[in-house]
Structure 1
Amino acid sequence: MVYNDSMDDSPGAVSISEALGQSEAFLSFQEQISRVAPIERPVLILGERGTGKELASARLHFLSRRWQKPFVTLNCAALTTTLIESELFGYEKGAFTGAGTRRIGRFEQADGGTLFLDEIGNIPMEVQEKILRVVEYGRFERVGAVHPVHTDVRIVGAANVDLAQMARVGRFKQDLLDRLSFEVIYVPPLRVRKGDIMVLANHFAGRMAFELGFDQVPEFGKKAIQDLEAHVWPGNVRELKNVVERAVYKTNGPVITRIDFSPFISPYGPMPEPGTPSIKPTENRTSALSADKESNSDTESVLAQLADLPLKKAVLALERFRLSQALTAARFNQKQAAANLGLSYDQFRGLKKKHGM
């Protein structure tokens, strides 16, 4: 399933050709978007980083009656109260020092269309109150203005945090959450879309080969496909895109044989700092306790040992522990241990060398 690619390079423009997939999870997610798109109500899109929440919001807009009107975006992450208020509502000339001219905010820019608010959980509470008034009454005041401005905007919010939990602990306005959540759409992470991995990988490979001026698109070898499908993809589609583009860039032939999931892993990387402790699993495994109880015991032991370490040393110690744990579980079959950790064989050997194992 492919959408026409946007060729607009302006800020906020969205390329939606990367909304690809054939898995049941992906198709169900797309169907949910299609059903709610024509309904003139706010929508929340929730999902992990890199899953394509902005692509989903763009599909919502272009399948709605507002598709010929503006699609305006704003990333709310790390904006101060003053800055986000100015971005959303605009300001009048002289409203504050430096306001030499009137500025139109995102709500006015999106009039008649859709306003996509990414990372909506970062919006300060006092600004949330003003957004609620726009949702309820369709009007607001620019910063420094006296008269209200009327606007007709459909709001689509997105977050990778639990907004309901934030509302319960008073970090997000419950009234606003109620008004924005006419429908809540969860974007499926790539790890539950196994059937889509190679569809996306081939698409990204084709685009990268074109960008590099290759005569042909390199194919993925059997081992490369196995590595891609075995990886857990914490960064989801965004991570997959980076990994595939790097693989195409580094290939020297018609077949991609090696996948580097991280550009930072190298046999020449820095060694752990002296004094970095090793984590040891719990002893006395001869009892007939269940696997679950053993696993919980190990986890508690590891956490206890990490608790008082500086962060850098804790990360190194945990990394070494997981390598050792994976080797033991795989009966020291390094390729199997690497696969169990979601690493390539070369990545696994590089980490072993890094830790002097």
Structure 2
Amino acid sequence: MSTPQDQSIIGESPAFLEVIDQTSRAAKHGRPVLVIGERGTGKELIAARLHFLSPRWESNFIQVNCAALTESLLESELFGHEAGSFTGATSKRIGRFEEAHGGTLFMDEIATCSMSAQEKILRITEYGTFQRVGGNKVLTVDVRLIGATNIDLPSAADAGEFRHDLLDRLALDVITLPPLRARKEDIILLAFHFGQRAAHDRDWSSFPGFSEDMIEALQDYHWPGNIRELKNVVERAVYHAEDEFEPVHILELDPFRSPWRPKPAGPFQQNRTTKTATQSPNHDSPVMPETLGPTDYNETVAKVEKDLLQKALKANKHNQRDTAVYLNLTYHQLRHQLKKHDLL
């Protein structure tokens, strides 16, 4: 399993290069750093770069996902505990701050920490001291703290959800990562990188690249899941490709897309209905064929897709670009579907 320090940071866009320069400057000092960015933008890779370019690079780089632990477990994870401090604590446990002594502790999703944990983290950043859970002995550590989050911490502090004094201590350097949609120049560069790795995993002799339609579709998409989503989409495309010598051309952005996809319950259904009505007020939903016995799955799906395409084209007077918007597809995705169903 790869770790952040094993993975390459790739890009050439101005927004990306500015972040790399800022990271290199911040790596030189041993003070706390905050890394802010949407999900999938590579916050853990920047944190690793901060550590391995710093004077602490030979010491431990310890990581903890704060959102994955309950309040009580998080404090035990971070600060350790003494034997008998709570039910199940049969022996003393060293916490992540002690493990990171002399090195760096990366706290992902730091905004999810409880106020109690934040108070203890503040003490460590100010004085380098803490106590294990259930202990009285004051311990001293030398740790550089890197925190990451995808929320606006000043707003969280104003709302009473994050300590202002801790925010002040952590915000010596704040590195805000641009989303992938702001790094248009990097999309195909990253896609080829992920494609080459997926081709290697499939034991292909080489990576044949992408078709022109797929390259345009990759560039047109808004990538709400950022680099992580791009990686998944490219891997899916390569793994589903049948010919290693033909450019990869089938792009599946939503693997859940199906006429039989279960409808969300509760408020999610209401939100989805509202959004659909706003985007496509005259949308005619495809009618699912009634079956009395066994049926051919692929044939049935093809009929539903073709029927939807024909109705959408008619509703938009056969203007393909308007039809693509109507169906929430890119122009090139629509063209691919029209070719697939012999509607061109």
By the TM > 0.5 criterion, same fold? yes
Residue 60 of structure 2 is aligned to residue 74 of structure 1:
no
Q: Write out aligned runs for 1:1-357 (5 A).
A: 9=1, 13-253=3-243, 254-266=246-258, 268-270=259-261, 310-323=267-280, 332-335=318-321, 337-338=323-324, 341=328, 343=330, 345=333
Distance in 1, Cα, partners of 2:161 & 2:220? 38
Cα 1:325–1:136 shift into 2, 3 Å: farther
Following TM superposition, by how much is the alpha carbon of 1:219 offset from its aligned partner in structure 2, in angstroms?
1.2
Look up the equivalent residue of 2:333 and give its one-letter code.
Answer: Y
Task: State the distance in 2 between where 1:118 and 1:252 align.
Answer: 39
Show structure 1 runs of 5+ residues with no match. 1-8, 274-308, 351-357
CA distance in 2: counterparts of 1:336 and 1:221, whole angstroms = 23
Q: Structure 2: which amino acid aligns with 1:264?
A: F
1:276-318: CA deviations, max 9, x gaps?
xxxxxxxxxxxxxxxxxxxxxxxxxxxxxxxxx9431430342
Give the partner amino acid of 1:173. Answer: R
Deviation at 1:265, TM superposition (A): 1.3
Deviations 1:262-282 (A, max 9, x none): 11113x434879xxxxxxxxx
For 1:67 and 1:143, the matched residues in 2 are separated by 29
Which amino acid letter does the alignment assign opposite residue 138 of structure 1? G
Counterpart AA for 2:104: T
SS in 2 for 1:77: helix
Q: State the shift of 1:338 in Å.
A: 2.8
Percent identity, aligned pairs only, is 47
SS of 1:206's equivalent in the other structure is helix
Q: CA deviation at 1:348?
A: 9.8
2:288 aligned residue: none
Deviation of 1:149 after TM superposition, in Å, equals 1.3
Q: What SS class does the counterpart of residue 239 from structure 2 fall into?
A: helix
Aligned residues: CA RMSD: 2.7
Shift of 1:144: 1.4
Matches of 1:183 and 1:105, distance apart in 2:
26
Please tell me the residue identity of whatever aligns with 1:269.
W
Render the CA deviation track for 1:36-65: whole Å, top value 9, x for unaligned: 111121110100000000000000001110
Q: Which 4+ runs in 1 deviate beyond 6 A?
A: 325-331, 347-350
Q: Distance in 2 between matches of 1:234 and 1:208?
A: 22
Query: Structure 1 length as normaliser, TM-score?
Result: 0.79
Structure 2 runs not aligned, ≥5 long = 284-311, 339-344
Instruction: For 1:143 and 1:347, locate their aligned partners in 2 and report how far apart those are by CA, in whole Å.
Output: 61
Report what 2:291 is aligned to: none
1:47-86 Cα shifts (integer Å, max 9, x gaps): 0000000000000001110000000011111522211100
- CA distance in structure 1 between the partners assigned to 2:335 and 2:141 by the alignment: 53
2:217–2:333 contact (8 Å) kept in structure 1: no
Aligned residues between the structures? 305
The one-letter code matched in structure 2 to 1:263 is P
